[in-house]
Homo-oligomer: A and B are copies of this chain.
Amino acid sequence: MSEATHEEATGAAHGAAPVVFFLSDSTGITAETLGNTLLTQFPGHTFERRTIPFITTAVEACRVIEVIDGIAATGPRPIVFSTAVNREIREILSQSKGHFLDLFGTHIGRVEDALHSPASGEPGKAHGVGDAIRYQSRMTAVEYAIEHDDGQSIRALERAELILIAPSRCGKTPTTMYLALQHGILAANFPLVEEDFAQQTLPEPLRPFVRKCFGLTSLPVRLSQIRTERRPDSGYASLAQCSYELRNAEEMYRFNQIPYVNSASMSVEEISATILQRMQLHH
């Protein structure tokens, strides 16, 4: 295709990035998740993203159409990812002048065939409160994670399903919180500090639970960057200190046969998925 068309389509030229809509009759999380997975396949492009959740009536759907068509009239055709479940809503949304991708409707027929039964047609149950038990377990796990963040409490460590250990700023806290919130896992996290390395041993409170431990490491440069954000020009953030702590942490993991992963180029989601797989923790 010609460069001109390309620029027109991507807006790369005059910053008119195409508008991407994530539409849903529920939270819009599913539309955002798959939509963004597809968009990340086009790294050269920039997009303006808009999520419109809870589109539950024909009137609301028609208003959304007006917004999309208004944008289509003056710029590149918007890309529209929809996970609307309700057939009427889906049909209205499909009428817009945007590129309409029906992430739900495209697949539901196949699942109906596989199960030999019709879809209920009721939206939003994916992220609905569903069973109160799951809600409870998540709330309990988040509170456990807060109480046991950064070694704050060694109480009830025997209840932990996972104890994440690492030097400061390797990603313990967000990973622990993600595992608690998304998977209801009782996870504590514990910092590795100077004296642990001096003694070359696992922090005393963790020794009974070595089989629950999982280690994080990083790259000295990356860790130094992150620590510099917090304490510029500190010994704590120096490359030498970061190298020293990471080298010793990795030795400690290996010596105690604690599985570990280098989080330097990973997202919280990737670190969490790796831990679930390696520790066989999927609920």
Taking Cβ atoms with an 8 Å cutoff, the residues of A that contact B are 1, 5-6, 9-10, 18, 26-30, 33-34, 36-45, 51, 53-54, 77, 79, 83, 85, 99, 101, 103-104, 106-108, 110-111, 113-117, 119-122, 124-130, 132, 135-136, 138-139, 142-143, 146, 149, 171, 173-174, 177-178, 180-181, 225-226, 229, 265-270, 272-274, 277, 282
Contacts and interface: CB of A to CB of B under 8 A. Distances in A.
A162 B83 CA distance: 28
A229 to B, nearest CB: 6
Contact of A42 (B28, B43, B111, B142): B111
Contact of A38 (B38, B108, B171): B108
A4 to B, nearest CB: 10
A33 to B, nearest CB: 5
Copies in the complex: 2
A166 to B, nearest CB: 13
26 contacts: A5-B116, A6-B116, A9-B117, A27-B273, A30-B34, A38-B111, A39-B111, A40-B128, A41-B120, A42-B117, A42-B119, A42-B120, A43-B120, A45-B115, A53-B273, A99-B113, A103-B103, A106-B106, A124-B270, A127-B269, A136-B226, A138-B268, A142-B177, A143-B173, A177-B180, A177-B181
Nearest to A79: B114
Contacts of A270: 26-27, 124, 127-129
A113 B101 CA distance: 12
A25 to B, nearest CB: 11
B126 A40 contact: yes
Q: Top 9 closest A-B pairs, CB basis?
A: A41-B119, A127-B269, A27-B273, A37-B126, A40-B125, A99-B114, A9-B116, A33-B33, A129-B267
